[in-house]
Structure formats: C-alpha cells, structure tokens
Structure 1
Amino acid sequence: MNSKYLYLKRFFDFLFALIGILLLVPVFIPIIILLKFTAEGEIFYRQERIGKSMKSFYILKFATMLKNSSKIGHGSLTVRNDPRITKAGVWLRRTKINELPQLWNVLIGDMSFIGPRPLLLKGIGMYSEEARLKIVSTKPGITGIGSLIFRDEEKLVTIYNEKGYDSKEYYQLYIFPFKGQLESWYITRQSFLLDFKILFATFWSVLTNQINFIFRLFPSLPNRPEILTQNYLLKLKKI
C-alpha cells in the first residue's frame, strides 16, 4: 500500500476530525442534555471493537439503546422497531447522528473516516480467513463501502426474522461473506479518489435514503446476491 497515501490520509483524518468536533460542539451540547434527561440518562455508548492489526479499542457513539441491551431481546442483533431503542435513539440512529462521537476515535488514530466497519471479535471471526487478513490490515472507518451497501441491514434482518428464519444464520451464510467481498474490494483499491467518492456517496445516501445508485457509481463492485435484497426477502414464505 502506498505509504504517501497512508501518511496523507492520517493527516487529513486528524485535521478534519478536529475541525468537525469544534464545529459540532453546538450540535453536541443539546444532544447531550437531551440524553442526560431522557431514558436512562446515558449519554455515550462505549464498546470494544477490533481495529488494525487486531488491536482492540473502544468505539464511541451517542447512546441509543437501553443499558445492558446486549443481554436482552436479540442480543447483539438490532432489528427495526427494536424495543430496546430509546425514543431519542430512534431519531439519532435514523439520521446517523449517533455515529458522530466517532470523530474522537478518528482524532486519536483508532479509526479513519473511510474504511471497513469496526466489528466485535466474534464478528471478525465470521469472515473468511482471506477477508479477515485484508480487513485488519487497515484502520476501520466511520463509513465505507460495506457500511454503504448494508445501510438497510437492520431492515433485511428484521424481514428475515419476521419470516421465521434464523437471523444469525442469515449473517453467517449471506451477510458476512458478501461484506468480506466488499471490504476486500475497497482495500485492494484504496486511493484518495475512491475515499472521496465513498464520502460523497455516504452523504447522498443519508439525504436520499437510497443505496441502489452505489452500484452505478462503483460498477466494479461484486454483484449483490439476490437474497440480500428486500424484494427477495418479502417473497419468502413464512415458516
């Protein structure tokens, strides 16, 4: 991988994360107050994730779920209209504002703006060995090609679960293999131009709530299996 690209990427990550934090202080303050005086008073959510070279770190987000939510309901899986999500959390998750505290993770060097999504240790273990080695060779990102394509992941899992099928099996057999292909695609093509296009696509998908344009923007992406589309899942028979 080009060392100049990596050094410049880290420089711009630090610079824009610092600028972003300073500019967003007026946004953060009312959100902090809102979270402090609603639900259970939790402001930030910290969870151990796996980063570059399998180094663990704690990802930072605004709290959107009840305390100990990982031990109730669907555990580590989140579905649409999940009762563990707080009222404020619904809005924060829909707008992706809950992800903004990760600017701190970028600032201190645990993450980058663009890269594979940081996962739990058990999540990393669900990738093939080839995909896993590629994914942990670079820093995880706030957004990335995998995050973009699976923007509707919660909805897919919810539909599959409502049809009576095993959500964990869906992840293992279909979601993670394709995510591994997507992240590998990015890692073998990393460049400033690609990072800029992914950043643009992220903003556009938030504004339009659309993801189909991504395959037109990146025509060399691996083909998305039909079972990872809402239309296919809606046609599945219930069991």
Structure 2
Amino acid sequence: MPKRLFDLFFAGVGLCILSPLLLVLALAIRVESPGPVFFRQERVGQFGRTFRIHKFRTMVVNAERRGLQITVGADQRVTRVGGFLRKYKLDELPQLLDVLKGDMSLVGPRPEVPRYVACYPEGVREAVLSVRPGITDRASIEFKDENIILGRAVDAERAYIEEVLPIKLRFYSEYVRDRSLWGDIKIILATLTALIR
C-alpha cells in the first residue's frame, strides 16, 4: 500500500508539473510527422496481464511493420524529434498515466512485449511478473544506450534475447527480492543523475 500511495502521489504531481513540457513535446511530434502523438503497444504487466503502454511516438507511423520490436543503432524509423526524446528518455513520460491507472509503478522491472516475455525462464517469469512493471529500474540505467549496443551486433534480436535479456532478468529478479520504498527512491535519484550526465 505505501508503494501504491507513493506512486499515485508522485505520478499525479509529476503530470501537473510537467504538463507544459508534455504539451510542447506533443506539438513538436505532430508538427514533424503525421500520425498520433502517442505510441501504444501491448506489454505484459503484473501477473501476466497485458496492457497498452503510453509512450510519445518517436518513430514514423507503422514502424513495427518495417522492422524489429527493438530499436537498433541509428534506426532509420526514428524521427528527429524522436531521437531527441529517446536520448533524454522523454518519450517515457506519458507512462505516468499508466502509473495512475495502476498498470505500472514508478520503479519496477520494465514491461516487455509478449514475444520477449515468452523467452523468460519459467521461475524467473513468475517472480518478475509478481510486481507491477516500472518506468525505471537498474536495468534501464545500465542499458540506457541499449540501441547502440545492439547496433554493433550481427543479429540484433538474437543478441538481445541471448545476451542483453538475461542480464536484465538478473536485475529484475534482484529488484523483486530486495524491493523497498527507500530502494525505489534511490533508483529514481540514480535515473535522474544518469539523465543529467
């Protein structure tokens, strides 16, 4: 309960404070390329329930039909505004709405698409999906340049599944095992520090 109240309070305050910025970013997206402001995608949440995540659209419309469900290197599908949003993780801000809805938490394992959740080992899957997914976590900080890493791979999707995902799952499992409100605060501060740097 304290974690949920923490999430509701700070997500609500965050949306109020950031609303002018969110409006400017939404306008920039619409001006640069036709299509919706938000990118909605099915993700797997707590207890395996699926939900549609909110993100600012950073790619051209129908980008998933033109490539992988992960972003690799200098992905040609990413718009100029989208590149800026991704660099500073501003595309994730609309997920504050998902926190208010109860689909997500401020801190927790990042929600994956069903395709990659199917690759989780069974025991790990049960543990990771026992908590609400989050906007940020230690794996997000460690892999903030994930698209660059995958851009160097011969087979990006295979590299993600066989090399990156197992490390992420280790971070997710550690979070589930050791989670606390103070731990969440430290991860939020670490995320902000990483973005500023």
Tell me if both proteins adopt one fold, taking TM over 0.5 as the criterion.
Answer: yes
Q: What amino acid sits opposite 2:189 in the alignment?
A: F
Which residue does 1:169 correspond to in 2?
158
TM-score normalised over the length of structure 1: 0.80
Which secondary structure does the structure 2 equivalent of 1:37 belong to?
helix
Unmatched tracts of structure 2, length 5 or more: none
Pick aligned residue for 1:87 from 69, 75, 80: 80
Counterpart in 2 of 1:234?
A: none
Residue by residue over 1:127-155, the C-alpha shift from the partner in whole angstroms, topping out at 9 and shown as x without a partner, is 21121111100000000112112112111
**Deviating 4+ runs (over 2 angstroms):** none
Give runs of aligned pairs for residues 122-137 of structure 1, distance below 5 A.
Answer: 122-137=115-130
Which residues in structure 2 correspond to 1:95-174 (within 5 Å)? 95-160=88-153, 165-174=154-163
Q: Return the offset for 1:42.
A: 2.5
Higher Rg of the two aligned structures: 1
The CA distance in 1 between the partners of 2:11 and 2:101, in whole Å, is 9
CA shift for structure 1 position 37: 1.9
> What residue number does 1:33 align with?
27
Contact 1:118–1:141 under 8 Å retained in 2: yes
Question: What residue is the counterpart of 1:231 in the other structure?
Answer: none
Give the C-alpha shift of residue 175 in structure 1.
Answer: 1.2
Determine if contact 2:58/2:78 at 8 Å carries over to the other structure.
yes
Q: Counterpart of 1:188 in 2: which secondary structure?
A: helix
**8 Å contact 1:62–1:99 — kept in the other structure?**
yes
What one-letter code is carried by the residue in structure 2 that aligns with 1:202?
T
CA distance in 2, matches of 1:168, 1:47: 18
TM-score, length of structure 2 as denominator length = 0.96
Higher relative contact order (CA 8 A, sep 6+): 2
Q: Does 1:15 align with 2:14?
A: no
**Which stretch shows the higher mean deviation, 87-96 or 171-180?**
171-180
Other-structure match for 1:182: 171
Residue 202 of structure 1: aligned partner: 191
Does the CA-based 8 Å contact 2:107-2:137 persist in structure 1? yes
Point out where structure 1 has 5 or more consecutive residues left out of the alignment.
1-6, 209-239
Q: Report if aligned partners of 1:128, 1:177 keep a CA contact under 8 Å in 2.
A: no
1:140-184 deviations in Å (ceiling 9; x for gaps)? 000011211211211110012xxxx22222122211111111110
One-letter amino acid of the counterpart of residue 94, structure 1: K
